[in-house]
Amino acid sequence: MDIIKIIGIGLVAVIIIVILKQYRPEFAMYVSIGAGILIFALIATKLSGIIDVLKSIANKSSINSKFLVLLIKITGIAILTEFTVSLCKDSGESAIANKVDLGGKVIIMSMSIPIMSSLLETIINILP
């Protein structure tokens, strides 16, 4: 089970970080980043399966494929933004983390405009 691997990586990283902070605190951040990248790599392999399922659902229904691609991109941006924000906060840079978070939200909002406009057009066409 992958969750056991993820939990194991997290726990080992925390133990190493606690020990490193006593002797060499400057290396603790590198362990945190390395553990985050390892965990993200494990998660990324699962994302391809999710994308395949979403594509098959979109093919079976009448969902426009460009909207599905947009939703996948928006989800990816949200995941990467949250990952980066967590790394920034772990490094003690909460100001940068807040800026990255704001940037991710603005990009997500700008990318969702085609979906929102299509939804509004559909609602307007339904209304008399």
Domain of residue 44 covers 1-48
Does residue 69 share a domain with residue 26? no
Q: How many domains does the chain have?
A: 2
- C-alpha distances (whole Å) from 114 to each of 44, 106, 123 are 27, 14, 14
Using one digit for the tens of pLDDT, what is the confidence trace for 85-101? 988 888 788 999 999 99
Q: What's 93's DSSP letter?
A: -
Query: Is residue 3 domain-shared with residue 37, that is, in the same domain?
Result: yes
Full-model pTM: 0.71
In a domain, 124, yes or no: yes
Please tell me whether residues 25 and 83 are part of one structural domain: no
**pLDDT digit string (tens) for 34-53?**
998 898 888 888 877 887 88
